[in-house]
């Protein structure tokens, strides 16, 4: 048996022993996700048991170094773990912007103290993070952000406003882009700061959406004092950290294109509902072919990324393709459901609220940077235009 074969059989046995049966079913909605945090909410004992077991083994972040709470697995071992989890339908034990966004940026740009402190807390699910990038005057043109950060000698002083801050009202800490030098060219006066959402002067106001939920907020900073050591990277070089983090965010969002990871075709999921309508059946068949192509592309891109051979346009290509695919999936499911699918509180046969999910997908091609912006980035890198 090769080392990887033994790793696979040990992993399979460990998962069999430690993943509770309740955690082997797809999540029905967002309330099934475990977000951790200072005051974690667990929907069931099984959910807590699963999160604790995975965190104790470092498998909430299997490929991070053991020194920072990770599992220390190689890319090949990490892939095996993901395959074995998928084989038994095991849920992701911990949803976390810390894992999918901040962690990779800290691994590259954080100092040793920041890595030891924050990465281990992220791995154990002890801090829930939110992302303070967008502002009322800075979305696609993010580098126009104006949140002011002044050097007060022994601390930073932050004043300004963020918008669309997902789960800001539930988060413990924020990773935030601030302007430390208003006189510098706009990309050069930005810094990357971490601070506690319980700091005096931080307040949030939830925004209500058409889906009926309020997943994000306006976030206000009014004379917020931040310890000096919580700035990541160099003063004025936050744009590099911001862009690196966005690449990871875009890859995370692109996962929506996989449709929950089970690999079931949409045609199979919609079943009888397609029998009466050959045109819809043809559209669904076309979609299923695109979904297979996307899955293959994702696998290849992730392998290239782990091998350090990723093309700079890759995260934008995956984000664009994955989110457009996810929107198409829900459009087709709604079309197949007919007028009955419009019923606001109806359950689909697979579970979940069809029209709410459908409306939520409209945001996929906006969050993390719009589709138009991704196409611009792809064009810039492929055509080698200035600024690529
Ligand atoms: C569900 C969701 C969650 C989010 N969560 C967060 C979060 O946690 N933290 C955070 O900081 N932000 C968050 N955002 C904000 C998100 O990053 C911005 O909405 C996004 O970057 C677009 O910015 P904007 O809304 O200001 O739109 P605008 O930038 O005003 O764009 C408006 C339209 O103009 C188009 N456009 C703009 N510039 C160009 C261009 N150069 N070329 C072609 N077309 C262009 C856009 O594509 C878009 O269609 C979230 C957004 C959503 C929808």
* Distance in Å, CA 72 to ligand 1 centroid: 36
Q: What is the pLDDT of residue 262?
A: 60
369 — alpha (psi -120 to 50), left (phi > 0) or beta? left
- As a 3-state breakdown, the chain gives helix, strand, coil percent values, each rounded to 5, of 50, 15, 35
Give the end-to-end CA distance of the chain in Å, rounded to a whole number.
46
Say what the pLDDT of residue 273 is: 79
Q: How many whole angstroms from 367 Cα to the centroid of ligand 1?
A: 6
Nearest to 97 by CA among 175, 191, 23: 175
So what's the pLDDT on residue 260? 66
Closest CA to 230 of 99, 96, 129: 129
pLDDT at residue 261, as a whole number = 54
Cα(254)–Cα(325) distance, integer angstroms: 9
Q: How far apart are CA 74 and CA 362, in angstroms?
A: 36
Q: Is 285 in the pocket of ligand 1 (CB under 6 A)?
A: no
Q: Is the CB of 370 under 6 A from ligand 1?
A: yes
Q: Is the CB of 372 under 6 A from ligand 1?
A: yes
Q: What is the predicted pLDDT for the residue at 351?
A: 42
In the prediction, which pLDDT does 36 show? 95
Options 77, 84, 135, 249, the catalytic residue: 249
Q: Which H/E stretch holds residue 250? A: helix 238-254
Nearest CA to ligand 1 atom 44: 372
Burial class (CB in 10 A: 0-12, 13-18, 19+), 223: exposed
Say yes or no: CB of residue 134 within 6 Å of ligand 1: yes
In the block, tokens 């395959």 appear at 83
Ligand 1 atom nearest to 140, measured from its CA: 29
Block mean pLDDT (10 aa), the chain, length 388: 93 98 86 92 95 97 97 94 94 95 97 98 97 97 98 98 97 98 96 98 92 87 98 98 95 84 77 85 94 92 83 93 94 88 63 75 93 95 83
| Nearest CA among 95, 101, 103 for reference residue 69 | 103
The Cα 216–Cα 213 span in angstroms is 9
Asked if residue 166 has its Cβ within 6 Å of ligand 1, the reply is yes
Query: Which residue, judged by its Cα, is nearest atom 27 of ligand 1?
Result: 139
Q: Does 203 sit in the ligand 1 pocket, CB within 6 Å?
A: no
Handedness of CA 355, 128, 254, 8 (dihedral sign): negative
Provide the whole-model pTM. 0.93
How many Cα atoms are found within 13 Å in the side-chain-facing hemisphere of 239? 16
């Amino acid at each position: 048996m090769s080392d990887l074969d033994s790793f696979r059989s040990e992993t399979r046995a460990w998962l069999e022993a430690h993943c509770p049966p309740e955690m082997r079913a797809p999540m029905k909605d967002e309330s099934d996700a475990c977000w951790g945090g200072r005051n974690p909410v667990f929907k069931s004992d099984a959910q807590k048991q699963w999160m604790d077991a995975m965190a104790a083994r470092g498998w909430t972040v299997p490929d991070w170094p053991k020194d920072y709470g990770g599992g220390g697995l190689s890319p090949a071992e990490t892939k095996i773990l993901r395959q074995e989890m998928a084989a038994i339908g095991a849920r992701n034990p911990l949803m976390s912007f810390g894992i999918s966004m901040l962690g990779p940026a800290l691994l590259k740009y954080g100092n040793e103290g920041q890595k030891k402190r924050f990465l281990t807390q992220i791995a154990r699910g002890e801090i829930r993070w939110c992302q303070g990038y967008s502002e009322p005057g800075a979305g696609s043109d993010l580098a126009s952000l104006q949140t002011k950060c002044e050097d007060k000698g022994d601390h930073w002083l932050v004043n300004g406003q963020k918008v669309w801050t997902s789960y800001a009202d539930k988060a413990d800490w924020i990773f935030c882009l601030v302007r430390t030098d208003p006189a510098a060219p706009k990309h050069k006066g930005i810094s990357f700061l971490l601070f506690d959402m319980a700091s005096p002067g931080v307040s949030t106001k939830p925004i209500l959406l058409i889906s009926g939920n309020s997943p994000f907020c306006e976030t206000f900073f009014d004379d917020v004092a931040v310890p000096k050591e919580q700035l990541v990277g160099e003063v004025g070089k936050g744009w590099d950290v911001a862009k690196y983090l966005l690449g990871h965010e875009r890859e995370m969002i692109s996962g929506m294109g996989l449709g929950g990871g089970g690999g079931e075709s949409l045609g199979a999921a919609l079943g009888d509902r397609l029998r009466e309508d050959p045109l819809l059946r043809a559209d669904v068949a076309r979609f299923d072919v695109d979904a297979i192509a996307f899955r293959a592309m994702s696998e290849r891109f992730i392998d290239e990324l782990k091998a350090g051979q990723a093309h700079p346009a890759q995260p934008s290509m995956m984000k664009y393709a994955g989110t457009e695919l996810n929107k198409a999936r829900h459009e087709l499911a709604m079309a197949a459901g007919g007028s009955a699918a419009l019923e606001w509180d109806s359950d689909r046969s697979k579970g979940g609220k069809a029209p709410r999910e459908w409306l939520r997908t409209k945001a996929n091609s906006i969050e993390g940077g719009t589709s138009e912006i991704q196409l611009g980035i792809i064009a810039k890198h492929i055509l080698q235009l200035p600024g690529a």
